[in-house]
Structure 1
């Protein structure tokens, strides 16, 4: 069993981006600029946004963090997005999800200019992803997973990949990327969800499993065949009195029991999470260079 170390792999990618930014600065070219919008006081969202801003600063990107109270109107938020769309200095716009119930996530996602949609959630970018177009911005988590598979030279051609979860953020785009005529890619893909019958039997057929179902330690050892590659997208805080923090972080995979059966597996934390941020930075850099 080998760990797919997302932390070190992400750092390699960030180092490359940092060098690229330094070269652009030396040549008098535009520096990538990411604008992040955070609504409300959700602790997890604040942590995610802060880590993205911190990463921007580490690699020489310009970052702007815009924070609003929970009760901001949908109209005001959409007006701000339009202002950022019109601002040439801004290359990437991300609005941290989830949003308060009175704001339509669909309207917000569709309001972001396609060429600045570095989260890759806009319907047009989704369409471009399906068509396999290079200019598409790929959602950061699936993109990060593909970069991780590429870094470790995981052979995916002809393999059976099972994706647990069908969200537009992870599951659906992941299934498309794995089935594309690329490397990594060229998998036969099965997408499973809450209505899937005989889920255990389906998983046991998988050479590659991507667990993005949002249920802690859902994937058990008796659902995984020997030698499988397992990618754990989930992250949940479980109470743990033995920890100083009072909790421990677990993924969607029962890691302790599943890992011994795997050829490769991602840890939680330190697997998919850092790769997601690295992929977001790559999208922002790409958006900036498209203006050259």
Structure 2
């Protein structure tokens, strides 16, 4: 691992709230509220302001105010925004997580209890496509940019005829602008983010587990640019991260299994970290 300490610009979760697709928050009375935004919905309508919805299955909050998010259960595309702390309930593959998670509080991965031995995958939306094969690129595109209710931040409108022309990953990459907006530009580059937290992230892999994380993991300066976010990676299992680790506070690793962090230099789009608003002095960007 290497540390890069030049000034960078990152936006915190509160700044990015208006660019999320699903928002999970509490009102002044303390009741939870869920919203959708920035979606192309059935009938051709594009939602550009938050609309309150029934909170989806797979999202809950405990009596301590900590959110739980199960991506494979919610099965919603796009960027999830949480007010406060969130526990990411990962499931064994093939029930992979394919989302961006932004949180004003902490982000913690959870592999559950009991017989948890196995492989767990979590993908930022763009990285899900970057890691595709010829046999699954169409299915993965449908997951990231479905025909309806797709995120307008990074998905282009396309029809079944255009989709049918995708015969390989090479074709998709050569014609990516027909299906995706420019993922080097904001806000489309939010699709590169796996986790973004204003306080801290904690990643853990238990014994006999392999945790594969694809995408950038960011700890910001927090709301208003004050304070510093930290990161902690622990466990006795194997942890593989393909992307950047960006923290403005301390990064602690206590891994008894194998840990690899790969910058994925061939996937330049996937390395793009969204920049916006104010400049921060990063204490550690970790990569190999």
Which category describes the TM-score, using the shorter chain as reference length?
under 0.3
Rg larger in structure: 1
TM-score, length-scaled by structure 1: 0.27
Query: More strand per residue: 1 or 2?
Result: 2
Query: More helix per residue: 1 or 2?
Result: 1
TM-score, length-scaled by structure 2: 0.27
